[in-house]
Amino acid sequence: MSVVLERFAAIGIDAPGLVALLGSHSVGRTHCVKLVHRLYPEVDPALNPDHVPHMLHKCPDAIPDPKAVQYVRNDRGTPMVLDNNYYRNILDNKGLMMVDHQLATDKRTRPYVKKMAKSQDYFFKEFSRAITLLSENNPLTGTKGEIRKVCNLANKLHDKS
């Protein structure tokens, strides 16, 4: 968590801003290759034991097939809604990635996690502030940047197919 806090601080984003930005984990999914280390060879004892069977069902292999689309939804309750349910989940040890767990347990970030879990308005306020700072930080322009047609592929790779 120290490295994450330092990197964001270097671009002017404070702890509440970082906590809010990681709230974007509320939407979407995490591919099994990014979380199997928390399941195999031993289940991470920090995970909520009620959540583990679902994770194991979705990620049944210690070494997932890289061509398979195996994933776990980041937020099973409201998977396609940006909301503060993420914070309630990570306080209940249901965060998928290690950074989620650290966010909920680190003394520098936990107070903001708790506040955002209680107040969606506070989460939205901090998220808006932090995403504005992030978007204004060294944007690539002209030929140095691109708006991707497919988010996980550079256009030069996408256009070849």
158 is in an annotated binding site: no
d(CA 21, CA 131): 7
The residues pairing with 150 across neighbouring beta strands, listed in sequence order, are 153
25 is in an annotated binding site: yes
78 is in an annotated binding site: yes
**Nearest C-alpha neighbor of 129 from the set 118, 116, 111:** 116
50 is in an annotated binding site: no
**Binding-site residue set:** 25, 75, 78, 83
**Binding-site residue set for heme b:** 25
**Binding-site residue set for Ca(2+):** 75, 78, 83
